[in-house]
């Protein structure tokens, strides 16, 4: 396979938030963290993982170079090149020696891995931890600044270019401003390459000498930009000419005073191991699905429910115990209006309300136009749900050490290198169910009792509401922690039956329905192809608040073809969704 080359299709300008943020970082000398990706061609060693966190750096110089337009790319008017922003990053030396550098040679990565899924960071006990701000840090920063050569405060040819030959003064604000607003630079650090430059006779701006071959004006708007100054005059720099950086430019320079203080430790603290995390009193804190940095230096996503586990070295934290189970009595019930509602501007959905006596429950039916009916079953008593709720948590805790039941699995994607995990911890039981996540599937006989109890409840409620039994042969159990959700999707995979039903356990959640982007709902009750102003983001036509023990039934295959739905929990939650899956589509 040939090597893929990447070229510009437009100038690098400050209208791009990424470019603007980097220039602001240079202007204000704000520390930035650099990552090295596995595919970065200039790395001097084999990385062996998706990316590595190199550490904190400051931007010591920015400038523009001319990059020839690639074949087939439309060139800017009046020239055959684009302006590419180049950036020099310097190590912030209050971190000590770079963790990846030892005795003048790069540190080889020795941890073998089989998949590009985990990044690398400095181990917490590495010799170069980030420096926390304290009283002693002030003395350290002063010492760093004093080591820099003294600078004459009087006028000089580059006083207005204290961080680069770029013009930095502007009246309007750009997208990256708020990210760097707290950094205010001191006088600029000494950079020897600036003294080797000269003022351009055409634009009268000062440009440093960065290349061995000679001086070049680096002001992109100048007519002399990117022309090499020689003894015989100015000559164009051809694409085949390989410029070399000047030795003076490659020298290490001290970290300036105002860049020496690091905003935070590059290695985050370990996440909490308890469902009642961080003293918030809320079940299933967001910290319980945060990634962590192992003592071996590898950063890991949390893919198991019950413990932290490093896929590089195999180390893991202690598993949760029964004392970590969140009791049903701790669940905060939602006192909101049980009736569903639509977003502003959406047509009203016909609805009806009735009571059931066995079991005692209120059933609200919502008619989605020319698609089917959504039933919301709200029970008077939820003791049955309390037992299933706690049983799910125990099943997740008392799982196999080698193959945990509830995992965050990899999403199917052709655009992302490596793996991106789903937000939910899930297990599938019964028939195999293939959707955007490849979830582990177990036969009913090998599934936890809580799964089968949830399936029994769903079957009974569907029979009571629809008046006929539905022989569900698959159930997907999903466990959510704070901040996790199920984004817009449908259950329209090939072979699925017309009825899909779900039991909601734990914290309240909002379930929303919206027509697909190609569909528009008319107030008269019909569906048509959408021609709206923003068809890619149609409004929700139905929003339901699902409480502990509620059951939702979607009856009608056309619901999955004409509508998407999503679920946003407010905290720790379990959802069990049952389907009928046939071997082949009808």
Would you give the distance in Å from CA 409 to the centre of its chain? 16
CB of 346 within 8 A of CB of 329? no
- Would you tell me how many other CB atoms lie within 10 Å of the CB of residue 139? 9
SS3 393: helix
CB of 386 within 8 A of CB of 392? no
| Torsional sign, CA 177, 181, 184, 190 | negative
Pairing of strands 542-546, 372-379: unpaired
Cis status, amide bond into 359, omega within 30 of 0: yes
- 568 forms beta bridges with 510
Integer CA distances (angstroms), 464 to 243, 544, 550, 551, in order:
78, 21, 14, 12
| Torsional sign, CA 96, 98, 99, 102 | negative
Q: For residue 500, what are its two tokens? A: 């899909």
* Binding annotation: 480, 489
Integer CA distances (angstroms), 18 to 23, 85, 182, in order:
9, 11, 18
Q: For residues 506 and 360, give the distance between their C-alpha atoms in angstroms, rounded to a whole number.
A: 20
Distance in Å from the first CA to the final CA of the chain: 41
CB of 471 within 8 A of CB of 578? no
- 496 forms beta bridges with 581
Closest CA to 377 of 357, 366, 361, 397: 361
Which residues neighbour 134 within 8 Å (Cβ) at sequence distance 6 or greater? none
Which residues neighbour 215 within 8 Å (Cβ) at sequence distance 6 or greater? 197, 198, 207, 209, 228, 229
* Binding annotation for 2-oxoglutarate: 480, 489
Q: For residues 463 and 465, give the distance between their C-alpha atoms in angstroms, rounded to a whole number.
A: 6
SS3 512: strand
Full DSSP string of 223-274: TTBTEEEETTEEEE--TT----B-TTTTS--PPPGGGSS-SS-SSPPPPP-S
Q: For residues 64 and 19, give the distance between their C-alpha atoms in angstroms, rounded to a whole number.
A: 12
Q: For residues 391 and 370, give the distance between their C-alpha atoms in angstroms, rounded to a whole number.
A: 39
Integer CA distances (angstroms), 436 to 116, 289, 416, 431, 447, in order:
20, 20, 14, 16, 22
Closest CA to 474 of 435, 513, 507: 435
Q: How many residues does the chain have?
A: 586
Residue with tokens 């523009």: 64
CB of 478 within 8 A of CB of 577? yes
């Amino acid at each position: 396979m040939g090597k893929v080359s990447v070229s510009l299709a437009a100038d690098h300008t400050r209208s791009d938030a990424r470019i603007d943020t980097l220039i602001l970082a240079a202007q204000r000398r704000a520390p930035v963290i650099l990552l090295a990706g596995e595919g970065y061609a200039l790395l001097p060693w084999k990385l062996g993982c998706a990316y590595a966190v190199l550490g904190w750096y400051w931007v010591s110089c920015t400038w523009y170079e001319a990059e020839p337009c690639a074949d087939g790319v439309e060139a800017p008017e009046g020239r055959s090149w684009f302006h590419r922003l180049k950036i020099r990053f310097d190590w912030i030396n209050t971190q000590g020696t770079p963790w990846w550098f030892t005795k003048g040679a790069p540190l080889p990565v020795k941890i073998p891995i089989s998949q590009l899924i985990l990044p690398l960071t400095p181990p917490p006990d590495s010799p170069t931890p980030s420096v926390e701000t304290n009283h002693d840090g002030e003395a350290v920063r002063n010492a760093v600044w004093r080591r820099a050569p003294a600078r004459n405060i009087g006028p000089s040819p580059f006083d207005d270019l204290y961080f680069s030959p770029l013009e930095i003064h502007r009246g309007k604000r750009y997208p990256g401003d708020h990210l760097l607003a707290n950094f205010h630079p001191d006088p600029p650090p000494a950079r020897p390459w600036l003294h080797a430059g000269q003022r351009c006779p055409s634009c009268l701006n000062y440009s440093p000498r960065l290349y061995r071959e000679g001086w070049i004006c680096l002001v992109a708007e100048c007519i002399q930009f990117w022309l090499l100054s020689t003894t015989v005059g100015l000559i164009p720099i051809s694409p085949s000419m390989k410029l070399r950086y000047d030795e003076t430019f490659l020298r290490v320079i001290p970290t300036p005073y105002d860049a020496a203080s690091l905003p935070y430790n590059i290695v985050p603290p370990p996440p909490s191991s308890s469902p009642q995390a961080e003293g918030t009193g809320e079940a299933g804190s967001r910290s319980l699905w945060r990634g962590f940095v192992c003592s071996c230096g590898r950063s890991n996503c949390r893919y198991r429910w019950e413990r932290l586990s490093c896929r590089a070295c195999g180390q893991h934290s202690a598993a949760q115990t029964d004392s970590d189970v969140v009791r049903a009595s701790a669940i905060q019930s939602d006192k909101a209006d049980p009736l569903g509602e639509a977003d502003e501007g959406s047509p009203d959905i016909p609805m009806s309300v009735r009571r059931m006596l066995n079991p005692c429950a209120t059933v609200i039916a919502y008619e989605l136009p020319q698609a089917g009916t959504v039933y919301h079953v709200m029970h008077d008593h939820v003791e049955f749900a309390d037992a299933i709720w706690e049983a799910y948590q125990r099943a997740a805790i008392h799982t196999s050490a080698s193959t945990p039941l509830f995992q965050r699995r990899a999403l199917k994607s052709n655009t992302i290198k490596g793996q991106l995990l789903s937000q939910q911890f899930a297990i599938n039981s019964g028939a195999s169910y293939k959707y955007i996540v490849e979830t582990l599937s177990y036969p009913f006989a090998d599934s936890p009792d809580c799964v089968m109890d949830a399936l029994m409840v769903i079957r009974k409620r569907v029979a009571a509401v629809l008046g006929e039994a539905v022989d569900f042969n698959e159930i997907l159990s999903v466990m959510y922690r704070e901040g996790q959700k199920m984004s817009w999707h449908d259950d329209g995979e090939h072979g699925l039956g017309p009825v899909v039903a779900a039991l909601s356990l734990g914290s309240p959640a909002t379930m929303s329905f919206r027509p697909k982007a190609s569909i528009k709902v008319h107030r008269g009750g019909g569906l048509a192809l959408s021609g709206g102003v923003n068809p890619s983001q149609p409004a929700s036509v139905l929003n339901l608040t699902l409480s502990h023990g509620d059951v939702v039934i979607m009856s009608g295959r056309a619901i999955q073809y004409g509508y998407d739905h999503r679920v946003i929990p407010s905290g720790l939650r379990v959802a069990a969704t049952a389907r009928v899956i046939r071997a082949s589509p009808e």
